Structure 1
Amino acid sequence: MNLLKGQKVDITKGTSLSTLRLQFGWTFTKPGMSIDAACFMLSNQSLCERDEDFIFYGNPLSQDGAVSHLPLHGADKEAIQIVLPKIPERTAKIAFSVTIHEGEKLGYTMKDAGSLYVRMLNGDNGQELFRFDYGSDLTKETAVVAGELYKHQGEWKFNAIGSGFHGGLAALCTSFSLEIEEDAEPEAAAAMEAVSPLAPIDLRKKIVQMALEKKQLTSVMARVGLVLDITGSMHALYKNGTVQEVVERILAVACKFDDNGALDVWVYDNDFSRLPPATENNFDRYVQKHVMNNKDIHKLGRNNEPPVMMDVIRKYTVEEDSPLPVFLVFINDGGVVKPIKKVIIDSAVQPIFWQFVGIGNSDFEVLKQLDTMEGRLVDNANFIHIKDIASISDEQLYHLLLNEFPVWLKEAANKRIIRK
């Protein structure tokens, strides 16, 4: 459904919707221009009564966990995710904005931007609920209130606003009663001294923690590994930063599961390499430094999974034998060779759970058969297919990744593969 400016639509009436994602997109006509999305949690008087209720890249998670700001890497540039049951009673509205970074200072205005839109998605299943294209009537403005989520008679509705502001983020903050210092840069001042900005990895650790709580895994300790396909078809995803993002997202899981906070990493094509562990101290540009700029890494060949899988088993059962279970995430964007079946069957007696993630549009015929594969002491592998891993939220990703792991933990403990 495409909304018109000023149109209001029901969001929760007659549904069991619990999580929303508003995904924002735009284009530029001038180089060096930057736009940011944000939101304000407002009272009945349309006032942002606390500094920490302004959610943006510098304060990406509300204190109640209801609202989070997420970067995206695709046509949709940024997202605001809302967990409706967590919204506090004092919040009657949430206003969504986009602003040009230092627009007044650099001389950019909304006439230099194009294709402004916001899409609302069902955060539970990714279904698009509506799209609102706006901004064609804007000229010298440097900020826009794109829309507003508001409560009416106990249900949430959305108002498509699309109204421009002069004065950028500073003007928006003032309009919602947030005080900023006159001589401060708008984006820096908006952070507010009362807000403790979170780095992306810190935000992701919080989201992992919430996922662990839902799945009753908060007391579990595990070693975490990541195997990355680096065959020719993956080249674009390495170049555009998607693989770096995958490393950072899985590192957050390692930080919560493993007491040393290290993520073991392998890459493979028809050869494989074991990389230095990724940690919070070295994850920045990890893929560029340890893969793309490393001449010793074999890249862009054909796929051959068994050798790297055998090295994973060797590391965790011979070199570093431990009573801790292993949660191994295996990223692949095409068909795997059939001999992986034997590796998976043989390793069913080992404390390793293989979580395969298929990305892209391949058929994944072999991986789809994991759940029905016979001859194993326990079901030690799971497969999920995510066509565009860059567009899925951290919350959705962690839910999918951790969905089968608790079942395996229980079965492996009953079979004495791991300790109870």
Structure 2
Amino acid sequence: MTSLSRGANAPLETTSVRITVSGAAPGSVDLLVFQVAEDGKVRSDADMVFFNQPRSPEGAVQLNGAAVDIDLGRVPPQIARLVVSVALDDSVTGSLATIAGLGASVQAGGAIDCPATSLTSERAAVLAEIYRRGDAWKVRNVSAGWDRGLAALAIEFGVEVDDPAPPAAPPAPAGMPTVAPQTPPASTPSVAPAAPPVTMPTYAPPSGQPVPGPDPQNPRSVPGEEKLSLEKRQQLDLRKKQVHSVLLTKNAVGVRARVLVVMDKTGSMSREYKKGVVHRVIERMVPVAIQLDDDGALECYLYAESFYKLPDLRVENLSEWIAEWVHLSGKHGGLNYARIGAVNDEIPILNEIIGGLRRGDPLPTLVLFFTDGGFHKKVPITELIRKAADFPAFFQFVGIGSAGRFGVLERLDDLEGRTVDNVGFFPVKDIDALDDAELYRLLLSEFPDWLQHARRLGIVG
């Protein structure tokens, strides 16, 4: 028997499929199948197969107690996926996590097991989905759900619900910036910025909920993931799995660190902003923060001649955050982006980061620094990185774009006179073409090695 982990898939050998759901029981754990089109929605409520409507209109899907019989040859061409789901009855307390052995077993020539994993407080969940791939069909273990139960599940796939649960209240705007002058901390290396001083925003401290402790076998999850659409959650789960795989290989599962993204906002980056490259890069950094940061929040900066520190990015606000803050110019969220300039000066942002570090801090900082090059102040940048080696931060520089000239960045990795190697660098012409597994391997391979050395030297407590 083939066993699929969460997010994994396998081909189906025959068009005659039987799915048995362990843990399903009418009146307590209800079994449902949604026939959905390319847009992820049912064509009508008749595409929802459940105990009161046990057969799809054309007869391709038939519910039989705790099993589903499917004839893929009869599935209408407009249907892209068959979504196999469960939901707790309203009379049942608790969550699906308490249902022993919950999962789907698929028989289609061979046996494929899809155990439900990583469920916590969900009252409704998608266990597996059967989906088209060219002229064939495949099955995927989804194992993702909703705390609000059947109503939220039905709404997700476009079924009309008479009395849906009220939506969660939007987060309070505590993260909105208030303008205040930035003054370098006393420990900041004394390299003066070339640009005139710019008043910078300050922010309320993050108030994220605590997250569960590390599970060596599974990627970490944080509160807020359940608010994403099913498609977004599936993509996030796959990316978390890739990050977890790198950390597992480096014996770094359970490591906690602040994760900072620093993004170049200079004029030469206009193509990357216009085509959405920057937006997608930031989205791909969220799984890194979820696996490493205490509350899964990603700290973000935009920089040019000066910089802005943006409100922390949290997974539940991903789309809204990117739409609000990721721009090359204009006024957004009360900030005038023109005030931080349009040409490179890395000194102010490096001073800001390094000045906030304290030797011996038990919480290290991982800085993910994205730029298309143009570093002109080679000597002061080199000196800053050399001094920063005595503080608990690792700088992973990423050169993006085909026109980048990375000069000093390519030499920082071999810089002499440092307590420890605190820098990584790699260039990539087309970061969109770099798959997630390789991107996370390049981003995270050096950080765990640095952390071991930094702890041994007392740089990290």
TM-score (normalizing by structure 2): 0.51
Match of 1:41 in 2: 10
Match of 1:260 in 2: 295
- Residue ranges of structure 1 left out of the alignment (5+ in a row): 1-38, 53-98, 106-169
User: Contact 2:361/2:460 (CA < 8 Å) preserved in 1?
Assistant: no
- The 2-side partners of 1:49 and 1:242 are apart by 42
Match of 2:370 in 1: 331
Match of 1:192 in 2: 84
Aligned residue among 382, 389, 403 for 1:348: 389
Match of 2:193 in 1: none
Within 5 Å, give how 1:105-254 maps onto structure 2. 186-187=79-80, 189-193=81-85, 194-195=127-128, 196=144, 197=230, 198-254=233-289
Match of 1:376 in 2: 418
Secondary structure of 1:233's aligned partner = helix
- Identity score, percent: 34
Deviation, structure 1 residue 180: 10
Match of 1:278 in 2: 313
User: Contact 2:375/2:406 (CA < 8 Å) preserved in 1?
Assistant: yes
Q: Does 1:393 align with 2:435?
A: yes
Deviation, structure 1 residue 218: 0.2
- Residue ranges of structure 2 left out of the alignment (5+ in a row): 1-7, 22-36, 44-57, 62-68, 86-126, 129-143, 145-229
Secondary structure of 2:453's aligned partner = helix
Size of the aligned set, in residue pairs, is 267
Match of 1:303 in 2: 344
Structure number, greater radius of gyration? 2
* C-alpha spacing 1:40/1:331, structure 2 compared with 1 (3 Å): closer
Deviation, structure 1 residue 185: 6.6
User: Contact 1:269/1:304 (CA < 8 Å) preserved in 2?
Assistant: yes
* C-alpha spacing 1:273/1:101, structure 2 compared with 1 (3 Å): closer
- The 2-side partners of 1:274 and 1:403 are apart by 27
Provide the aligned C-alpha RMSD in A: 3.7
Match of 1:65 in 2: none
Deviation, structure 1 residue 190: 2.7
User: Contact 1:40/1:48 (CA < 8 Å) preserved in 2?
Assistant: no
Match of 2:353 in 1: 312
- The 2-side partners of 1:374 and 1:357 are apart by 21
Match of 1:136 in 2: none
- The 1-side partners of 2:239 and 2:345 are apart by 31
User: Contact 1:244/1:285 (CA < 8 Å) preserved in 2?
Assistant: no
- The 1-side partners of 2:308 and 2:451 are apart by 28
In terms of mean alpha carbon deviation, does 274-283 or 287-296 score higher?
287-296
Deviation, structure 1 residue 200: 2.7
Deviation, structure 1 residue 315: 3.3
* C-alpha spacing 1:325/1:304, structure 2 compared with 1 (3 Å): same
- The 2-side partners of 1:246 and 1:238 are apart by 11
Deviation, structure 1 residue 308: 0.5
Aligned amino acid, residue 186 of structure 1: I
- The 2-side partners of 1:335 and 1:374 are apart by 22
- The 1-side partners of 2:428 and 2:20 are apart by 37
Secondary structure of 1:267's aligned partner = strand
Aligned amino acid, residue 190 of structure 1: L
- The 2-side partners of 1:334 and 1:199 are apart by 34
* C-alpha spacing 1:215/1:273, structure 2 compared with 1 (3 Å): same
Match of 1:404 in 2: 446
* C-alpha spacing 1:403/1:40, structure 2 compared with 1 (3 Å): closer
* C-alpha spacing 1:41/1:200, structure 2 compared with 1 (3 Å): closer
